[in-house]
Amino acid sequence: MKRRNFARRPGCAVEATLDLIDGKWKGVILFHLQAGTQRFGELRRRMPGITQRMLTKQLRALEDDKLVIRKVYAEVPPRVEYTLSEIGESLRPVIETLRAWGEGHQERLSCGPAPDAVKASDRAA
């Protein structure tokens, strides 16, 4: 994937970083790879909302950007493993900060429980 050329201007470093981890899935993939080397199927099970095609596309983009290392084993059936590269590892504090912020604001975010469900459970108690 071709990266945009960010000229030297205020905020360009932020733009460049966000361009690397843009989209819905790249940050999630990087988060799961922090636990260690994973096979494609393991990643797919950890992210039930992603299609096989999208996971493949996102992993290729992360590999092109040198954030993920893809290792193919000459076996039948073929085995492919993904791990964070050194540059990918350097994003660990960024991903952890995003995770912590998300946990702190989960009720306001779409991944938190629905407000009606929270109110109903409060009334039941």
Dihedral sign for Cα atoms in the order 44, 50, 22, 70: positive
In the chain, what are the domains? 13-98 (1.10.10.10)
Output the pLDDT for position 10: 60
In degrees, to the nearest 5, what angle opens at C-alpha 94 toward C-alphas 41 and 86? 65
pLDDT digits (tens, 9 = 90+) for 38-96: 999 999 999 999 999 999 999 999 999 999 999 999 989 889 999 999 999 999 999 99
72 or 114, greater pLDDT: 72
Write out the two tokens for 106: 């989960």
Quick count: other Cβ atoms within 10 Å of Cβ 101? 11
Output the pLDDT for position 121: 45
Cα–Cα distances in angstroms (integers) from residue 67 to residues 17, 29, 44, 75, 82, in the given order: 12, 11, 18, 25, 10
13-17, 36-40, 41-45, 96-100: segment of lowest average pLDDT: 13-17
Write out the two tokens for 83: 């791990």
In this prediction the pTM is: 0.77
pLDDT of residue 124 exceeding 90? no
pLDDT of residue 36 exceeding 60? yes
